[in-house]
Amino acid sequence: MGKQMRIGVLTGGGDCPGLNAVIRAVVRKGIKAHGWEIVGFRNGWQGPIENLTKPIGLTDVEDILTRGGTILGSSRTNPYKVDGGVDRIREVLAENQVDALIAIGGEDTLGVAKRLTDDGIGVVGVPKTIDNDLGATDYTFGFDTAVHIATEAIDRLRTTAESHHRALVVEVMGRHAGWIALHSGLAGGANVILVPERPFNVDKVVEWVERRFEREFAPIIVVAEGAMPEGGAEVLHSGERDAFGHVRLGGVGQWLAEEIADRTGKESRAAILGHIQRGGTPTAYDRVLATRFGLHAVDAVAAGDFGTMVALRGTDIVRVKLSEATAELKTVPTERYEEAEVFFGA
């Protein structure tokens, strides 16, 4: 047993499958290996600002491994956009005698973690995003589950597309990175995959669709929500921005389905998967990865290695600086996309 400590843990940003597996691993190792007390902060960074706490013991994590979402709740709160937010976090941590924080989240949550570390608050990060767009880690938990859900949806939609001889456009999540679209499109045998990293030519898409119809098969087009036509812009679901400056995207699938119908004269439908991709039971891969991340986050806290994030490199879990992890988004490289193009229109 090491020094008696009280460790805070929170989950920020969009929910995703595997969050509870991280919490479970942190609690079990923190208590059993170190004798620590674990304090859950509810609703992301809102928790340590407003003193929303939830003590977590072994019994609280007994049956959460398979549950999606997060038992702590989440939000897109940005302490640096709240007057006195950072000072309030210091006060709440001192009031609860919390020695360090483990923050589980994506680009925005870990960006806050990096700034808090710079401001003298000890934080260790755990990478979470279904988009798989965090730098410095090969994969994030939640991504495998989202791809599995999207692939199953494509498989199901294919049967109805073939029955009715119509084109089906499947819109998946991916604001700036097309990893879900690329992986689910490849796994589902899509005939066209469109990602935010490469503006698409509508005429070319129509050509691929018509080629598929000529062979008397129904085309399946997978498009990331952030994909945009050449010379065009993202399709906004709403112009409102969250605390991190993000607008809500959505609707490119419906727009593209209508374009295909107008240009080909063929029936076309859009299916927007949306938050279905975030929900439900995590895959075995995500449960294992999330658990390993949680165990190694505890090790980082025990070593006093703050300002770091646990990351997957190959099959190993390593620590990287939060500054490296949040420096830039990990997007789909050109060569990975070009690997998939051989299947377009086939």
Tokens 């294992």 label which residue? 288
Across the chain, the runs of DSSP E, i.e. the strands, are 6-11, 37-41, 53-56, 100-105, 123-127, 167-172, 192-194, 220-224, 236-241, 247-249, 268-272, 308-313, 316-321
pLDDT of the residue at 168: 95
Taking residues 162-187, report their average pLDDT. 94
Q: What is the DSSP string of 52-83?
A: -EEEE-GGGGTT-TT--S-TT------GGGST
Q: How many CB atoms lie within 10 A of CB 159?
A: 10
d(CA 346, CA 341): 10
Which tokens sit at 19?
A: 């969050």
Annotated binding site for substrate: 129-131, 166, 173-175, 225, 269, 275-278
The secondary structure of residue 290, as a DSSP letter, is: H
Annotated binding site for Mg(2+): 107
268-272 and 167-172 strand pairing: parallel
Kindly state the percentage of the chain with pLDDT values over 70: 94
Chain segment 184-241, per-residue pLDDT in tens: 999 999 999 999 999 999 999 999 999 998 888 889 999 999 999 988 765 554 445 5
Hey, which residues are catalytic here?
131
Whole-number average pLDDT of the chain = 91
Contact 125, 322 (CB under 8 A): yes
236-241 and 247-249 strand pairing: antiparallel
Q: Is the pLDDT of residue 271 over 50?
A: yes
pLDDT of the residue at 11: 96
pLDDT of the residue at 126: 97
β-bridge partners, 102: 9, 124
Order of strands across the sheet that contains 6-11: 53-56, 37-41, 6-11, 100-105, 123-127, 308-313, 316-321
d(CA 18, CA 30): 18
The phi and psi torsions of 337 (rounded to 5 degrees) equal -70, -40
User: 53-86 as b/e, with b when 16 or more CB fall inside 10 Å?
Assistant: beebeeebbeebbebbbbbbbbbbbbbeebeebb
Residue 246 banded pLDDT, cuts 50, 70, 90: very low
Taking residues 256-282, report their average pLDDT. 92
Of 16, 31, 10, 30, nearest in space to 286 by CA: 16
pLDDT of the residue at 244: 44
Tokens 């407003």 label which residue? 50
β-bridge partners, 238: 248
pTM: 0.91
Annotated binding site for diphosphate: 14
Tokens 């005698």 label which residue? 97
Taking residues 122-133, report their average pLDDT. 94
pLDDT of the residue at 239: 47
Helix, coil or strand: residue 112: helix
pLDDT of the residue at 250: 59
d(CA 195, CA 72): 32
d(CA 198, CA 100): 41
Q: Is the pLDDT of residue 170 over 60?
A: yes
Q: Is the pLDDT of residue 143 over 50?
A: yes
d(CA 147, CA 172): 9
pLDDT of the residue at 162: 83
Annotated binding site: 14, 107, 129-131, 166, 173-175, 225, 269, 275-278
Q: Is the pLDDT of residue 323 over 60?
A: yes
Tokens 């989440």 label which residue? 74
β-bridge partners, 224: 172
Tokens 């992890």 label which residue? 325
Helix, coil or strand: residue 135: coil
Contact 22, 104 (CB under 8 A): yes
Residue 249 banded pLDDT, cuts 50, 70, 90: low
Residues shown for the chain:
346
